[in-house]
Amino acid sequence: MLRGPLLVVGVLLLAGCRSAEPARPNVVLILVDTLRSDALSTYGNPRNTSPHLDELARRCTLFEHVIAPSSWTKTSMASIFTSRNPLRHGVRGVKDVLPAKLSTLAGAFAAAARSG
C-alpha cells in the first residue's frame, strides 16, 4: 500500500484499458493534485471512498508505485507529458514554459490518430 502525500501527478495512472481493439488501447490518464493515496479505497482505505476509480482499477492497469519528479505540480506535469526529467524539459520556475520543440504525450496521440 502506498503511504504519504502524493503531491503530483496523480494517484492513479490507468493505461491500456481492455477494449475490443487490442491493437489500439484506450488510455485514461487521471491526474490528481494533493490527494493522499490512503484516502482512496483503491489503495486500501476500508471506506468506499472511490467506487468509480476502484472499478477502473479492476479493469485496467493500476500503477501502485509512483515517484514524483518534483514536489511542484507544474514541474511534475511537464515531466509526465514529455517523459523528461525537470532538468531536461526546463520547467522549474513560475515563468518557465515547455519549449515548442519538445514532443509531448498529446502530440503522440494526435499523430497516432492521424495515422489511422
Using alpha carbons, select from 36, 28, 32 the residue that is nearest to residue 2.
Answer: 36
Asked if residue 79 and residue 23 are part of one domain, the reply reads no
Task: Give the residue numbers spanning the domain of 73.
Answer: 69-116
The residue from 66, 82, 106 where one domain ends is: 66
Asked if residue 31 and residue 57 are part of one domain, the reply reads yes
Asked if residue 52 and residue 41 are part of one domain, the reply reads yes
pLDDT at residue 107 greater than cutoff 60: yes
Domain count, the chain: 2
3-state secondary structure the chain: CCCCEECCCCCCCEEEECCCCCCCCEEECCCCCCEEHHHCHHHCCCCCCCHHHHHHHHHCEECCCCCCCCCCHHHHHHHHHHCCCHHHHCCCCCCCCCCCCCCCHHHHHHHHHHCC
Tens-digit pLDDT profile for residues 40-97:
999 899 999 999 989 988 988 888 888 889 989 999 999 999 999 999 999 999 999 9
Asked if residue 6 and residue 60 are part of one domain, the reply reads yes
Asked if residue 84 and residue 53 are part of one domain, the reply reads no
Asked if residue 95 and residue 39 are part of one domain, the reply reads no
Asked if residue 81 and residue 57 are part of one domain, the reply reads no
Asked if residue 51 and residue 23 are part of one domain, the reply reads yes
Q: Which pTM was predicted?
A: 0.66
pLDDT at residue 18 greater than cutoff 80: no
* Pair 102, 89: CB distance under 8 Å: yes
